[in-house]
Structure 1
Amino acid sequence: MRKTATLNGITMKVFAGTTGVLLAFDVTAARRKGLLGFSLERLPPPYPGNKKPKWEWISGLMPFPGQAHDAGALISSDVAPIQKFRWSDYKVYGDSEYAYRVHAMYGTPTQPTHLKGPKITVTTSSSDEDGVHNVTFNRAAGASQAFRRNFPEAIKLMEEKRKYGGFKDLTVDDLEKVEPGVKQWLARDVLKQILHVIASAKDGKWALDIAIYEYEWHEIVDAINAAVKRGVKVRMLFHSKKGDAQTAENKHNAKPLIDKKLARERTTSAIFHDKFIVLSKVTGTGIKMKRKPVMVLCGSTNFTHNGLFRQANVVHVVRTEKGKTVNPVADKYEVLFDTIWNGEDKTPITTGETSKWITANNVMDAKASVFPGFSPRKDKADLTYFIKLIDAAKTDVLFSTAFVLPKEIIDALIGKAGDPILRLGIQNTNANKIAGFHRDKSAQFAATALADDGFEAWLKEAMIAGAGNILIHTKVVVVDFTTDAPMIISGSHNLSNPASQKNDENYLVIKGNTDIADSYGVEVMRIYDHYRARWVAAEMAKRNSPLSGTLQPNDKWTDRYFKKDSLHYRDRLRFAGK
C-alpha cells in the first residue's frame, strides 16, 4: 500500500510493506529555507497492554552539536530531527494499521519551531490468507540490535555459553527455552507460513508435492510426516549428489517417506536448489487420481536452522484468486514437479532432459503479469531476460543478492557511473563483508557482516560451512519501485550461470503490482539500511571529526538534495512520487 499527501508545502509519500513502512518527504523551495529537518510522529495500532495507544515521537541517533545526548542512545525527532528526505519504520507488524505525521523543523537547535505537515494512515501487508499473493520475510542477522533489546535472557545465555563452553552448539531451540518467542521473532512468519501450507492438507482429499534442496528443520519434517499419517498424498523430491553431506542429511530426514516410496532423490551433478510446495485438491483414485493445484509456496527459504533463523529469506505464497477455479502459477509448478517425478514416459527425467523440457515448455513470457520461471535451461535465456528487464529501468533499481554474480548481471544492476537511475542494493558474497551499492556505481561500500559479540557472534560461530556463511540469502530485484509500474524478480535463482544452466531453480517475475513491490522493496531497503548505517558508523569513527555523528545546525544539509539532476535530487523527487 502506498499513499501521498501534502500540507503547508510539505509532501509525504508512504510505502507500507510487510516488514516496514518507508516514508519519503519533499518541501517546496520556499519551505526549504531554514529547514533543520523533519520531526516525525507515529501512531501504532492497539496491542496487548495498550488498547488505546497515543501518538509518539519517532527517535533517531544523531543530536545537534553540543546537544545533551548519551552516545548510542535514541533521541526524539521533535528536538533532533531527521535530516534526510527518506526514513523507514521497521518496528511494525503485518496486517496492522499505522498512522504517521510529519512536521518541518525551523528556528534554531535550542529554540525550534514546527510547521505541521500531512498525516497518512496505512495498513501493512499481511502474511495471512488475505489475497492471491502473500510475501513473508524473516528478521535474521539484520535485526541484531533489536534482538538484544527484546531478548536479554537469550543474550545472557549466549554470553554464558561463550564463557564456559557450548557457544557454537547453541541452537534457537535452546534460546526458546530460556526466553519463549525467540523462534517466532527471528523467523517472523516464515516458519508459520510453511507449517500453515502443510497443515492446509487436511486429509486424503489433499496432496502436497514438495521440492527441496535442504530438508532438515525438525518442525517441518514432523509436519510432513504427520500429513502422511492423516492420509495426505505426499510426494517429495530432494537434492542428491554422490558423496554430498547434504544428501546424507536429506536421506536421513526423508527416510519415513522413502520407505513408503513417497520421496525420491533428485540426483544431479550440480544442486537441486528448488524450495517449493504445491498444495492440491485430489479427485479420483488409483491411476485416475488427479491433482488440482490451489496454492504454491516458493521463495528462497531452505528448510533449515540457517534458512529460517539466521539468513535473510523470503517465502512467497500464491493462492487461487477468489471466484476462480484455476491457479495458473501453482499449475505451472505442479506440471514441472510432475514432469521431474514421472517424466513424459513415466520415468523420472535427468537434469539434461529437464533443461530441454524447460527450454521448450517454459519460454520467457514478456507479456505475463506473473511469470513462473524454472531452470536449468539452454543458452542462459533466463539471465538474458533478467538483464533486459533491469536495463529497461526508468527510475530505480533495488536489489538484494547472494553469492558471486556474473559480470553481465553486475553491470546491469549497478549500471554506468553517473547514469540517472537510482541504484540501492546489497550483495553478500562471503561471510566477512557485505557489499553495498549506494545510488550509483561510484558510491560502493563494504560493511562488516557480523560483529564479534552477542547475537552476531553466535551467528558467526554457529553457522555451518559453505552456503551457511551467507547471511543475505534473499535474491530479489525490484525495478522502478517508485513508479506505478514496478517489476520484481524473486525466487531460489541466484542470478548466476550455474543457477541458469545447471541447477534446478524456480522464480517469479511480477509486473505492475505495487502492493507486492512495496513488500519486496521495503524489505530490500531494510537490509540495505542496516548495512549502510553500519558502514557510516565505521567511517565516522575513522574520521574522528568533532562533527561526526551530529546534525547540521542549519539548512545546509539540504543542498545536495536540491542540486538539479544529482542522484540525491532524483532520490528526493522519485521517492516522493514526483
Structure 2
Amino acid sequence: MRKRATSGGVTVQAIAGTHSIFFGLDLAADVRPTCLGFAIHREDHTEKQQYWLSGFKTFESVVPVPNPKAFYSTRDHPVQSFYWGDYTVKPGHRYTYRIVPRYRAPKNLVDSPGVEATIDITTGDPDTGPHGVYFNRGVAASQAYENKFGDPPDKLKPPEKRAAAMTWLSRGLAEAIAAFIGQAKSQKFALRAAVYEFTQPDVLAAFHQAKDAGADVEIVYAANADPTGDANRTAIAAAGLDPAMLHPRTRAKIAHNKFIVLCRKSAAGALTPVSVWTGSTNFTEGGIFGHSNVGHAVRDAAVAQRYLEFWGQLLGDPDTDPQRDWVDANSPFDPASMGPAGIHTLFSPRHGLAVLNWYAQRFGAATDGGYITGAFGLNATFENVLVGYSGKALHYVMLDRADNNQDTWSADHKVIVAVGSSGGPASLTRWAKEGLTGFNNFVPYLHTKIALIDPLGDDPTVISGSANFSPDSTTNNDENMLIIRGDTEIADVYFTEFTRIFNHFYARYWAARLSKGGTDAQEHSFLAETDAWQKPYFAAGNPKRLQRQLFSSAVQGNIG
C-alpha cells in the first residue's frame, strides 16, 4: 500500500509491505529553520496501542553517555533524516502515524502549531492473496539481537531461550515453509520439490509428516560427491526419509533450485498444480535463520504448472547440454514477452547470456531507481552498465562482501552501496558489539538474488529466485527466477525489505570505513544540535537530495 499526505508544510509518503513501512519525508522551505528532526507517533488500531517511537541516537548535550541497550524517544531525540523505516510493524495491521517536526534547541524542543502530518496505512498479509513473500530477519548482527539474546543461538541456555532466538531470526520464514509443506495433509495432495542444500531437520520432518499423512511426495536433491551432497545424504538418513521419494541429481553443474510445487492428486493419480514455493532460501539452518533470504509462495496454478514441468525434466537427471536444450524450448526467453503485467518465469541452464544481459539492461534503464543484491559481488555485465550510465536514476547495490571493482563502478554519487557488516565499539563507538549466528561460514550476511527496477513507479519490475546474477547461474546451473511486472503490492514488499536490510548494512559499513579513514565515528553516532543536518538533503547534486525527492514526491500509484 502506498499513501501520501501533506499538511502544515510537512509531506509524508508511506510505503507499506508486510513487516516494514518505509517513509519519505519533506519540509516546505518556511518550516525548515531550527527544525532538529521528526518525532514519530504510531497508533496500532489492531492491538489498540499507541506511543512515540524510539531510536538509538541522542543529542550529546542531553545524553552524553547513552546506554547501548536503551532506546530513546523520538519526541526528545528526533529522527534526523528525510527517509526512515518502521521495521517493527506486523502483517495485516492498520496504523496511524503522526510526523511532528521538533524545533529550537536539544534541551528545549518544541512543536510548531499546525506543523505536522498524519497518515493512515495498513500492512499486507502474506498468508492471503496470490503472493506470499517471507523474508527472514537477515540482520542477526544487530543491536536488537544483542539486547534480546546476547550470545549466538547455539550458546544460549536454556533451550527455550535458543528457541526464542530462532523464532526471532526466522521472522516467519521457517513457519511459512512448514505451513506450505503442511498443506499436503492427505492422499489428495502431492509435493514435488527440487532442492540444493537440504539439511534443516524441521523441513525434512515436514516432508516426512506429509508422506506419513498419505501425500505423494517426491524430491529431487543435489547429490554430487561434494560437501553439499554429503551433507544432504547425512541429513536425509538422520530424518529417516523414504528412499522411494528421493531422486539424486548428480549431472548438474550445481543443482541450485529451492522450490516446492503443491498439487492436488486425483484418485486416478493425475496431478493438478495449485501453488509453488520458491526464492533464495536453502533448506538449512543458515538459510532460514542466518543470512538474509526470502521465500516466495505463488498461489497461481499456471505458474505452478510451469514449475511442475521443469521438475519433471529434472527428475530424469539430465546432463547440462540436454537440459539447456529443454529449457530453451520450454522456457524460451523473449524480451517482448516480459513486458506485459503478470508473473513470468525463467529457468536455467540455457544457451547464451541473453537473460543475464536483459537483467543488466533493465537495471541500467531504470528511470527512478534500480536495486540489486549480490551474494558474490557484482557481475561485470552490471558493472559496465553502471560505469556507462549517464541518466538521473539512483542505483542501490547491496553486497555480502566488497567487490574488487567497487570503486570504479560506484564512482558516480548516484550509485549507493551497502556491504554486509557488523557494528560495535570499533566502528560505532556507543553501540554494543554485534556478532553473527555462526550458521553461515561462506556467505555470512546476504544470500538473496533480487533486482528491482523502478519499484516505486506504476509499472514496477521484481526479479527474484534462486539464480545469482552471473554467467554460471544462467548457462550452467539448475535455477529458477520469477519476473513480476506491474504489481505494486509485491514491489512494496520487496522494496521495504530491501531498504530495511540495505540501511542496516549501510550504517555499519560506512561507519567502519569512516573509522578506518580517521573520521571521528563518535561524532557521527550523535544527533546534530543545529538544523545543519538538513543541508545535504537540499544541496544540488547531493545523493541525499535525490533520495529525498524520490521517496517523498516521485512515488506513483498512491491510494486515497
TM-score, structure 2 length as denominator?
A: 0.88
Structure 2 residue aligned with 1:19: 19
- 1:326-341 residue pairs with structure 2 within 5 A? 327-341=301-315
Moved more, 516-525 or 60-69: 60-69
Q: Identify the match of residue 136 of structure 1 among 103, 128, 134.
A: 134
Structure 1 residues 515 and 443: CA distance shift in structure 2, 3 A:
closer
Task: Give the Cα separation in 2 of the matches to 1:478 and 1:372.
Answer: 16
Question: Which letter does structure 1 place at the counterpart of 2:373?
Answer: S
Greater shift, 303-312 or 99-108, is seen at: 99-108
Query: Contact 1:83 / 1:557 at 8 angstroms: preserved in 2?
Result: yes
> In 2, distance between residues paired with 1:118 and 1:34?
18
Which position in structure 2 is the counterpart of 1:146? 144
Q: Deviations over 1:339-381 (max 9, x none)?
A: 2225xxxxx5322211111112212332242111110111112
Answer whether contact 1:438 1:445 (CA < 8 A) is retained.
no
Q: Tell me, which stretches of 5 or more residues in structure 1 are unaligned?
A: 159-166, 321-326, 343-347
Cα distance in 2, alignment partners of residues 545 and 449 from structure 1: 15
Pick from 284, 309, 312: which aligns with 2:292?
312
Compared with structure 1, are the counterparts of its residues 148 and 438 closer, same or farther at alpha carbon in structure 2 (3 Å cutoff)? farther
- Give the deviation of 1:450 after TM superposition: 7.3
Partner Cα distance (2:230, 2:521) in 1: 55
- Listed one character per residue, the Cα deviations across residues 166-223 of structure 1 (whole Å, up to 9, x for unaligned) are x9xx378x77434542222111111111111111011111110010001111111111
Q: CA deviation at 1:25?
A: 0.5
Is 1:391–2:373 an aligned residue pair? no
Q: Which amino acid aligns with 2:83?
A: R
Distance 1:538 1:549 in 2: 12
Gaps of 5+ in 2: 427-431, 555-560
For 2:107, the aligned partner's letter is T
Equivalent of 2:459 in 465, 468, 485 = 485
Amino acid paired to 1:68: V
CA distance in 1, matches of 2:182, 2:8: 52
d(CA) in 2 for partners of 1:455 and 1:201?
44
Query: Given residue 137 of structure 1, which amino acid in structure 2 is its aligned partner?
Result: F
Between 65-74 and 484-493, report the one with greater CA deviation: 65-74
SS state at 1:92 partner: coil
Comparing 538-547 with 198-207, which one deviates more in the overlay?
A: 538-547
Counting only pairs closer than 5 Å after superposition, residues 18-417 of structure 1 correspond to structure 2 as 18-45=18-45, 47=47, 52-54=48-50, 56-71=51-66, 72=68, 73-115=70-112, 116-128=115-127, 130-142=128-140, 144-151=142-149, 155=151, 170=154, 176-241=159-224, 243-254=225-236, 260-285=243-268, 289-320=269-300, 327-342=301-316, 348-364=317-333, 365-368=337-340, 369-412=342-385, 414=386, 416=388
Shift of 1:69: 4.0
2:456–2:492: 8 Å Cα contact kept in structure 1?
no
Distance (Å, rounded) in 1 between the aligned partners of 2:119 and 2:15: 10
Measure, in 2, the Cα distance between the counterparts of 1:175 and 1:397: 45
Kindly provide the amino acid, as one letter, of the partner of residue 228 in structure 2.
Q
**One-letter code of the match for 1:212?**
V
Q: Match of 2:531, as an amino acid? A: D
Residue of structure 2 equivalent to 1:574 = 550
Q: Does the CA-based 8 Å contact 1:424-1:437 persist in structure 2?
A: no
Is contact 1:18-1:127 (8 Å) kept? yes
- State whether residues 24 and 575 of structure 1, in contact with CA within 8 Å, keep that contact through their aligned partners in structure 2: yes
Structure 2 counterpart of 1:459: 437
RMSD value over aligned CA atoms? 3.0
Judging changes above 3 Å, is the alpha-carbon distance between structure 1 residues 89 and 220 closer, same or farther for their aligned structure 2 residues?
Answer: same
In 1: Cα distance, 2:195 partner to 2:398 partner: 26
Give the conservation status (yes or no) of the 8 Å contact 2:466–2:479: yes
> What is the aligned-residue identity percentage?
29
**Gap change, CA 1:144 and 1:550, over 3 Å in 2:** closer
**Offset at residue 260 of structure 1 (A):** 4.5
**How far apart are residue 445 of structure 1 and its match?**
6.2
Q: What SS does the corresponding residue of 1:148 show, helix, strand or coil?
A: helix
- Give the paired residue count: 536
Structure 2 CA distance for partners of 1:133 and 1:171, relative to 1, 3 Å: farther
